[in-house]
Structure 1
């Protein structure tokens, strides 16, 4: 259920690009600058409200909170279909960012509350795979909706895209309300038996020291926030994850980059599918292997970031179409695999923190990572085509920074365990 929720979350976030291609830019008189603003304002609310949202989540029930915000953002997505002005679209995108800000960090917290540290990498890989498959097939689905419903009831196809995907989001949110579990300490006895709940708590108590019961004393918001912000682990994970997400904005430009390799527009769309397909397989294998060798997560991350860095450097000096495409495939796989693994690595490292402090730390890492998408959106301007040396040069630097961050985490954490 969480996988499907994240898939729809990602599609609702990124369908603005499909709507633009289907004629939204003409209907709303959006030039390239206005469209960039429409994209970026989403992350204003998203970044600002992630930490407060997770602070709320620790004091409520995920089965109510997460489907609740999902239902509302589905309604906002439908409302975007009736937008008549650029200013209204800006408002809806900001509101969408505020509402979606609570979902990703909330799911991270919920997943890490049910699974042991050596079980989390596989689950986080499955979670991230929703975004990968959305990239592979979301455009094809959007194309079918916008072309098939264009003109129906006098509405443009891009408006129907928002209606259909928003309605699907609201429908899944209703189902999630009855299916999604809460934390082990407060989940409904209708979803799990008391014996199953006790077993879940015992498993985690054996695995890490901080497992919580429903009647335990809670830290104040400010104390939990202070504990998170003064922990060096939080900041090293922020640096590493910002490097990954900043580099991963490359995925927004796959069609543009593939077209720049010499393919026609239609062919370029289809040529992006193998990129996501390979990334899907590599991410799954990485998650499986990382759980088998959980003590080496930092080294695995360093290796993938180093591979992505080398690909970016080689792309800067090699201009053969097929070679560049192959390097894009490898680099995408390395970055997507790093994304899921970095989140599970952070989650297991924060496992010894008090519950609300852990929630804040996870949300802060995710928020700062998404902040990197703002500057990442400007890495591949049209003026740089077809080589895009600036973009790949910056990505190589980001990957180097990420590799150093994760190898330092591995060394410091391993040294602390020995001490």
Structure 2
């Protein structure tokens, strides 16, 4: 019985006439563009580490923790753009805003190919962070605007997996470029990587410009009939009748409830439990291995397994938590277990290379929190006003990146390779905190659900009494 229900869920359910056809159209046009955009986004982010281990370090004479410093500068730009870029989606059509940002970051990526020193990369990566800031949180806002609680997790998982695919294929792309284009027209292979990654963004941006459907209440997509547009609006909460005013009253609204604090801190902790993967520790471990020497191809290809594990884990947990009725919190407990065990495996005396690599691969499963936690925030805030939800979602990523701006410098600097001992203990602490904070968010969410159910019950009781009084008078 459970198996048949699960297969029915995977195929998609239709509660209203035409809903299945509408979902097919939305999935195609929304997910293809958002996934391609995030794929290109991750290519542009991960290519720096790929280039670093493929000759850029030596060509530009990197010293000490300059690589980490560049990543920190990118993060600062990324932080500053989070909330403004997400609020911009309330005032500019997403089909205009997303492609514009793509073309900007694609151009900046190509300019990176001409740098002569690490300092040049620092300035470019700051601007790149600003341009890329809307992609992740902006897409989660859009997905929460179109899809119901029953549908959201799976779509969020597919979107997140596309970014991990970009990270994974970035290694293979760099390997191919290094072997086929290294030295072509007098340029090193790592420089060609930035040019090719930048060019990839152009056709994707044009696709979004012409075919992205915006939001249910503003869409003019030619492939949606008027009845389908109406159905799309009926499936989601109505928009506010009054224009959203971004004033002091709105700020007080955001900060006067638990939602901002609960979900921002949830993602702050979760972001650091991803540190093994997001900071490319496996590649740095292999590069600085105390006894083994690895080729450029191995240094680029072996870490791709981390992203592959992340893709499988993301799709598994996103789909499972949808099927279980939105129990996104289960991922928080999985993260807690994973972080503690994998850190202990790496810290263990005389750990073999296979054990350490296995731990880093397993740690890649923590990527599942990206889809499930943002879907969780969208679920809980579905009936809050759009600007409030937008700010909370953007603040989650902003808060995480505020910590990421300095966390790698303290715990995962490149010159701490291969063991990152300090970072292993930090990971254990974060993983324990993850489990505890997840339980706290569950408590507040359940409390709110009970309050809302009680208020609805009282409202229905008052209505029934009023109707009974009217009948008596008649």
1:373 corresponds in structure 2 to: 404
Find the residue that maps to 2:235 and give its secondary structure. helix
Q: Given the alignment, which residue of 323, 334, 357 partners 1:325?
A: 357
1:78 aligns with 2:110: yes
1:71–1:174 Cα contact (<8 Å) kept:
no
Q: Measure the CA separation in 1 of the matches of 2:415 and 2:65.
A: 14
2:88 corresponds in structure 1 to: 56
Q: Measure the CA separation in 1 of the matches of 2:93 and 2:385.
A: 18
Q: Given the alignment, which residue of 284, 290, 304 partners 2:315?
A: 284
Could you give the per-residue CA deviations for residues 78-109 of structure 1, whole angstroms, max 9, x where no partner exists? 12222234443222111111111122211111
1:239–1:402 Cα contact (<8 Å) kept:
no
Q: Measure the CA separation in 1 of the matches of 2:305 and 2:316.
A: 17
2:422 corresponds in structure 1 to: 390
1:75 Cα offset (Å):
1.1
2:3 corresponds in structure 1 to: none
2:285 corresponds in structure 1 to: 257
1:200–1:101 CA distance, 2 compared to 1 (3 A): same
2:20 corresponds in structure 1 to: none
1:244–1:402 Cα contact (<8 Å) kept:
yes
1:43 Cα offset (Å):
0.9
1:184–1:415 CA distance, 2 compared to 1 (3 A): same
Aligned positions, number: 411
1:108 corresponds in structure 2 to: 140
2:472 corresponds in structure 1 to: none
1:54–1:106 Cα contact (<8 Å) kept:
yes
2:151 corresponds in structure 1 to: 119
1:126 Cα offset (Å):
0.9
Q: Given the alignment, which residue of 220, 226, 229 partners 1:194?
A: 226
Could you give the per-residue CA deviations for residues 371-410 of structure 1, whole angstroms, max 9, x where no partner exists? 3322342323466555433111101111111211111111
Find the residue that maps to 2:328 and give its secondary structure. helix
1:358 corresponds in structure 2 to: 389
2:175–2:301 Cα contact (<8 Å) kept:
no
Q: Given the alignment, which residue of 377, 380, 386 partners 1:346?
A: 377
1:225–1:265 CA distance, 2 compared to 1 (3 A): farther
Q: Measure the CA separation in 2 of the matches of 1:314 and 1:135.
A: 25
Q: Measure the CA separation in 1 of the matches of 2:362 and 2:53.
A: 28
1:67–1:176 Cα contact (<8 Å) kept:
yes
Q: Measure the CA separation in 2 of the matches of 1:373 and 1:187.
A: 36
Find the residue that maps to 1:352 and give its secondary structure. coil
The structure with the larger Rg is 2
2:164 corresponds in structure 1 to: 132
1:384–1:145 CA distance, 2 compared to 1 (3 A): closer
1:225–1:189 CA distance, 2 compared to 1 (3 A): same
Find the residue that maps to 2:406 and give its secondary structure. helix
* More divergent stretch after superposition (234-243 vs 383-392): 383-392
1:178 aligns with 2:210: yes
1:46–1:97 Cα contact (<8 Å) kept:
yes
Q: Measure the CA separation in 2 of the matches of 1:358 and 1:243.
A: 20
* More divergent stretch after superposition (40-49 vs 251-260): 251-260
Q: TM-score, normalised by structure 1?
A: 0.91
Q: Which runs of 5+ in 2 are unaligned?
A: 1-32, 452-474
1:230–1:396 CA distance, 2 compared to 1 (3 A): same
1:275–1:332 Cα contact (<8 Å) kept:
yes
Q: Measure the CA separation in 2 of the matches of 1:261 and 1:304.
A: 29
